[in-house]
């Protein structure tokens, strides 16, 4: 009888242990499921924010391209004015006013900066992750640290010294209009044509890089959109 009783207690104890273990496993499974769901939700938010930031960058770069195209056209018109010995007119002041100005890209990178700190592992799609890193660390860095910095150097060392010597701004009319001090002398100044050639070449070089970046950026935005569509199914 004692043996019978011990056997029952043993079976009961084993059953209790099994139930506890099963309960722990279920609890761990539920906890893991909740954690995975949180991570997936965080990943979706990250992709949405990257999509928004990169779309903003896309539109900004398009505006830079448009503005720089207008500047290139202005420089070509001024070259034509000099080469054809065209008389001065006030309409030319808008073209002259473009000489020292260019558009710089304003890169929105708050999501990417945050992602580098604590969210890089959140992107489970390695191919997408590498594309995002390449866009920010190569393409955008090249535009800001290479192309735009050279624009600043060119402006400070060459363009502004010449411009301040030969042109005058009339702030009361427009910040972007400039009048030559001596238009007839300016047309005979070979340094002026050389200046137009230098800045026109720099803008065209910039346009090529902006347009290449824009093509890859558009592809990346589309990839992010497709990733979001997959997550929302």
Its pTM surpasses 0.95: no
Please tell me the predicted confidence (pLDDT) of residue 124: 86
Please tell me the predicted confidence (pLDDT) of residue 16: 72
Please tell me the predicted confidence (pLDDT) of residue 232: 76
Please tell me the predicted confidence (pLDDT) of residue 213: 96
Which residues in the chain come in under a pLDDT of 50?
1
Please tell me the predicted confidence (pLDDT) of residue 171: 61
- Supply the range of the domain harboring residue 59: 2-231
Give phi and psi for 90, each to the nearest 5.
-60, -25
Please tell me the predicted confidence (pLDDT) of residue 42: 84
Please tell me the predicted confidence (pLDDT) of residue 14: 74
Please tell me the predicted confidence (pLDDT) of residue 25: 72
Please tell me the predicted confidence (pLDDT) of residue 115: 85
Please tell me the predicted confidence (pLDDT) of residue 11: 67
Helix (H, G, I), strand (E, B) or coil at 157: helix
Please tell me the predicted confidence (pLDDT) of residue 173: 59
Please tell me the predicted confidence (pLDDT) of residue 231: 78
* Domains of the chain: total: 1
């Amino acid at each position: 009888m004692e043996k019978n009783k011990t056997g029952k207690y043993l079976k009961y104890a084993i059953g209790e242990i099994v139930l506890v273990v099963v309960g722990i496993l279920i609890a761990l499974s539920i906890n893991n499921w909740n954690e995975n769901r949180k991570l997936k939700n965080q990943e979706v938010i990250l992709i949405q924010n990257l999509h928004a930031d990169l779309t903003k960058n896309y539109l900004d770069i398009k505006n830079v391209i448009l503005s720089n195209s207008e500047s290139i056209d202005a420089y070509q018109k001024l070259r034509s004015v000099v080469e054809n010995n065209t008389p001065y007119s006030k309409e030319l002041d808008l073209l002259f006013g473009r000489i020292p100005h260019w558009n710089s890209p304003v890169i929105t990178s708050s999501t990417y900066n945050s992602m580098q700190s604590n969210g890089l592992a959140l992107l489970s799609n390695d191919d997408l992750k590498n594309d995002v890193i390449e866009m920010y660390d190569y393409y955008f860095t090249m535009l800001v640290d290479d192309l735009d910095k050279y624009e600043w150097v060119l402006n400070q060392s060459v363009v502004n010294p010449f411009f301040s010597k030969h042109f005058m701004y009339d702030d009361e009319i427009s910040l972007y209009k400039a009048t030559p001090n001596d238009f007839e002398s300016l047309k005979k100044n070979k340094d002026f044509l050389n200046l137009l050639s230098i800045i026109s070449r720099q803008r065209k070089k910039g346009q090529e890089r902006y347009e290449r970046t824009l093509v890859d950026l558009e592809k990346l935005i589309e990839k992010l959109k497709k990733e979001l569509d997959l997550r929302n199914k």
